[in-house]
Every structure is written in C-alpha cells, then in structure tokens.
Amino acid sequence: MTTKRHEQVGLTDAQVLDMYYYMLLARKIDERQWLLNRAGKVPFVISCQGQEAAQVGAAFAMEKDRDFLCPYYRDLGLVLVFGQTARDCMLSAFAKAEDPNSGGRQMPGHFGGKKYNILTGSSPVTTQVPHAVGMALAGRMKQKDFVVYASFGEGSSNQGDFHEGANFAGVHKLPVIFFCENNKYAISVPLKKQLACESVADRAIGYGFPGVSVDGNDPIEVYRVMKEAVERARSGQGPTLIEAVMYRLVPHSSDDDDRVYRTREEVEEAKKKDPLIVFAEYLREIGLLDEHKEADMLARVQLEVDEATEYAENAPYPTPESTMTYVYGE
C-alpha cells in the first residue's frame, strides 16, 4: 500500500478529497469558459489549466476569513477555495452586474471581493506585490495576525514592483508570502529568456528571506511548503518566496495561439504531468477515490458549472449609465 503522503503533512482524507474537488471545479469552469468563448458567448478567457494543484495546495495552507489574497489573473483555483463560486466566475465571464470582482467592469481573471478577503487587482502585472506588503504592514500596525498572499508569474518576477515589494517586506520582516507560479511561459517568451538564474526562488536571497522551489503539480508538496511559510509569517519571522513549477497547458488567453512558439510534443509531454491526472492517480492508489466516487464528484462539478452558466447567461448586464458611478466615493 502506498504511503499516505498527505497525512505526513497534516492533511486529512477529507481535506485531500476537497482539494481534488476544487481542482476539478477550477478546471471545469475554465474548460466551459473556453467553450463559451469559441461559441461567441464570452469575449475573453484567461486560463488556470495546469496550475490548479499549486493554487489549491497554497489556499489550503491559509485560513479563509482571516488571511488576505492579492492574486493574479490565473488564480481561479485559489479564489474558489477562498469562497468564490462557479456562479461568481461565470458572472465575471459574462460581464454581468452581479460579478463580485467588478460588477462587469473588468475582464475575467481580475479577482477581488472584500467578503472573500481578496484585494481587487488590475492588468499591469505585479502591482499587487507592494499592495500585499502594505496590507501586511497595516496588519502589524493594527496588531492582527493575518498573513497576506501575493501571487504572480515567473515573467512578472522581473518587474520592479516585485523587487521593491519583496525588499520592503524583507526589511520590515512582514507576514507576506510571495508565491510565483512558474508555468514556464510569459505569453510566448520561455523561461530561459526571462531569467538568468536557475530558479525564481534563488531571488529570495537578495531580500534576506528564504526561497523555496516546489513541484507545482503536487498539491501536497505545495501545501507543505506553504504551511511552513504561513507559520513563519504568523510567528513574526517574515516573508517567504515560493516558486511552484508547473506548465501552462493552454495558450496564454483565448486570443493567443501557442502553436507559433511551442511544439505540440512539448505540450503533450507536459499533459502527462497534468496535476488533475497525477493527483487523481494518487487518490486512487491510496483508495480514497474510485470510479464511482469520481463519477459522483464529476457530476456534482458539472451540475455546478451548468447552473452557474445558465444563471450568468440570463443575469442582467449593468446599466449603461452605471458607467458613471463610483469614480469617487458617493
């Protein structure tokens, strides 16, 4: 019998099944959005496919309603664990008034919501990193013990805001977790043209805090390193940089064609390590998942996605005149 790796890191059977559920939900929402896009029903999709294990593993190491997220546009799996629903995501995809991120103002993937402890985000990459540091600073000033999570891609780790934010957090030993989702591509530009160092995690040494590289296809490993980072942050030992290494399984967005910059062989090879497949295998090996349970879970997820799609498609748009509201406090 295979060892239950998840128990060694403090995860229960119920928790790992939940993790798999959130990964599957993220994947199925994402896949549906591509279908809707190709059917001409939603203008744009930005994908989480291939990154669900890292996102869900990271989210499980934090506390919903206590910790804060400053995510980036691929973090669908992460925000689902923090309370966003399939319906929320579809409302955002259809740009409807009820979209909790922005009331239909922003493109999909620009997550936010005070009720979920998710700070509103923008499209210029990595601007959320200093925000996370500022929230952590505020938390310290108000004597709170929450941690703040900021995620970004490996390409974004070249931005000045990454450096400025990480340095500030290092100097002030703030409870921030810098979570890099290294999916190997910044749109079309591969890792080797983005970084000269071996790993994004290597950058941490310059800021005086630990940097850890982890297999982003393994939610249990991601959970383990995240849990350590959360404990470090909560106990006043300062930030951690985590690099989760994975592969972006689909084009950058619905407007991209990845055939011009990477081979199909490379993509097919990466798909063998698809975290959904690998994690399901693990759960089957240890006897937590069988054909029957898997079918049940899939049916539950499909139903959620179907209902969310139907609801969002029929939901009202914001009124045209509401374009004029909330420029300033009213």
Partner 1 sequence: MAVISFIDAITMAMREEMRRDSNVFILGEDVGVRGGVFRATNGLIEEFGEERVIDTPLAESAIVGVGIGAAAYGMRPIAEIQFADFIMPAVNQIVSEAAKMRYRSNNDWHCPITIRAPFGGGVHGALYHSQSVEAMFTNTPGLKVVAPSTPYDAKGLLKAAIRDEDPVLFFEHKRCYRLIKGEVPEDDYVLPIGKADVKREGTDITVISYGLTLHFALQAAEKLAQEGISAHVLDLRTLYPLDKEAIVEAASKTGKVLIVHEDNKEGGVGGEVAAIVAEHCLFDLDAPIKRLCGPDVPAMPYSPPMEKYFMLNPEKVLEAMRELANF
In the complex with partner 1, the residue whose CB is nearer, 49 or 84, is 84
**Which tokens in the block code for residue 294?**
């898997």
The reply to whether 21 belongs to the active site is no
Can you point out the beta strands (E) in 107-239? Answer: 148-153, 176-182, 185-186, 189-190, 211-215
Active site residue 317: no
Q: Which residues pair with 185 in a beta bridge?
A: 190
Selected range binding partner 1 among 33-41, 155-163, 180-188, 189-197, rule: CB under 8 A? 155-163
Quickly tell me which residue has 């090996």 as its tokens.
285
One residue of 72, 73, 152, 168 binding partner 1 per CB under 8 A: 168
Q: How far is CA 313 from the centre of its chain?
A: 24
- For residue 261, indicate whether it is catalytic: yes
CA-to-CA dists, residue 316 to 92, 243, 312, angstroms: 12, 40, 8
If the CB atoms of residues 103 and 275 are measured against partner 1, the closer one turns out to be 103
CB of 136 to partner 1, least distance (A): 8
- Judged by CB under 8 A, does residue 134 bind partner 1? yes
129 binds partner 1 (CB under 8 A): yes
Least distance to partner 1 from the beta carbon of 29, Å?
21
- What residues between 57 and 116 interact with partner 1 by CB under 8 A? 68, 70, 99-106, 110, 112-114
Q: Of 261, 262, 284, 311, which one is the catalytic site residue?
A: 261
Name the nearest CA neighbour of 62 among 199, 175, 187: 175
Near partner 1 by CB under 8 A: residue from 86, 119, 186, 283: 119
Nearer to partner 1, 105 or 293 (CB): 105
110-114, long-range: CB < 8 A, 24+ apart? 110/73, 111/69, 111/71, 111/73, 111/75, 111/79, 111/84, 113/83, 113/84, 113/88
Burial of 269 (0-12, 13-18, 19+ CB in 10 A): exposed
Residues engaged in binding partner 1 (CB under 8 A): 68, 70, 99-106, 110, 112-114, 119-120, 122-124, 127, 129-139, 141-142, 148, 160-161, 163-165, 167-168, 171, 325-330
Catalytic residues: 248, 252, 261
